[in-house]
Amino acid sequence: MPELPEVETTRRGLQPHVEGRRVLNVVLRRADLRWPIPAAIERVLPGQRIGAIERRAKYLLLHTQAGSALIHLGMSGALRVLAPGVPVGSHDHYDLLLDTGRVLRYTDPRRFGCLLWQAPGTLHPLLAELGPEPLAADFDGDYLWRRAHDRSAPIKTFLMDQRIVVGVGNIYAAEALFTAGIHPLRAAGRVSRARCAALADAVKRILEHAIARGGTTLRDFISPDGLPGYFEQELTVYGRAGLPCKRCGHTVNMITLGQRSSFYCPHCQR
């Protein structure tokens, strides 16, 4: 599944092509993706100018005066800005025709993404209970330490809770915990204030670096310009079970935590 850096890479790639552009038409090739596509998408969005494209957690919002289109890429979704006349594939589920003549096309073989609508002055229920952005100033070690107080959940599960902080998925949680030297099974409430500070700093640095490198290419993700991301080549523990730790040489272990594979170095992470 595309994680925050992949979604932010997508936003930055689309921004110069869609901001300020008017949506002339919406072509829906199916009535639903993960959820039914609201009628407002076809009824209200055509004719509107996209004032901004924003990322909130792993969602993209196309803001117009009439409301906002809320997009999630799911596990395998991708958005492309294409020249007119590009043939439609079997997994191309909707197009937004822009006043430049180009088409913003959504492709999703698994159909786990979504296209929803947020009316002006409202907050979509999917966004209502989200925590702070990990790159924002209000996400820091003190915040993590306060929220972790008396929590018995493993720190990795805690870090991936979207009500605590958004957008830190399995890959980047594993990498941040390794960087901060924290074992993924350690109870969140037993992580000291100093180590929470190190963890928050690791999350920020790793996400910023991954965004700068174009996201992580895993399975289906490709950035809007058609080029893969490069951060995967630099992963320190994720996907490296049985291989030597890049820091100490001990073997990287894998466990299942919350039905997800978790990778860590038993020597470097305590």
Where in the chain are the domains? 4-127, 141-264
Q: What residues are labeled active site? A: 2-3, 58, 260
Q: Which fold has domain 141-264?
A: Helicase, Ruva Protein; domain 3 (1.10.8)
The mean pLDDT of 132-154, rounded to a whole number, is 97
- With beta carbons less than 8 A apart as the criterion, state whether 111 and 78 touch: no
Rounded to two decimals, the pTM is: 0.90
Per-residue pLDDT of 80-124, as tens digits, reads 999 989 999 999 999 999 999 999 999 999 999 999 999 999 999
C-alpha 42/C-alpha 148 separation (Å) is 44
Q: Is 110 annotated as a binding residue?
A: yes
**Packing angle of the helix pair 193-212, 170-180 (nearest 10 deg):** 130
Does the pLDDT at position 44 exceed 60? Answer: yes
Q: Is 270 annotated as a binding residue?
A: no
Could you tell me the CATH superfamily of domain 4-127?
Answer: MutM-like, N-terminal (3.20.190.10)
Q: Is 183 annotated as a binding residue?
A: no
* Position 156, amino acid: K
When pLDDT is cut at 50, 70 and 90, the band that residue 234 belongs to is: confident
How confident is the model at residue 199, as a pLDDT?
98
- With beta carbons less than 8 A apart as the criterion, state whether 177 and 270 touch: no
102 CA to centre of own chain: 25
When pLDDT is cut at 50, 70 and 90, the band that residue 39 belongs to is: very high
C-alpha 100/C-alpha 91 separation (Å) is 24
How confident is the model at residue 222, as a pLDDT?
59
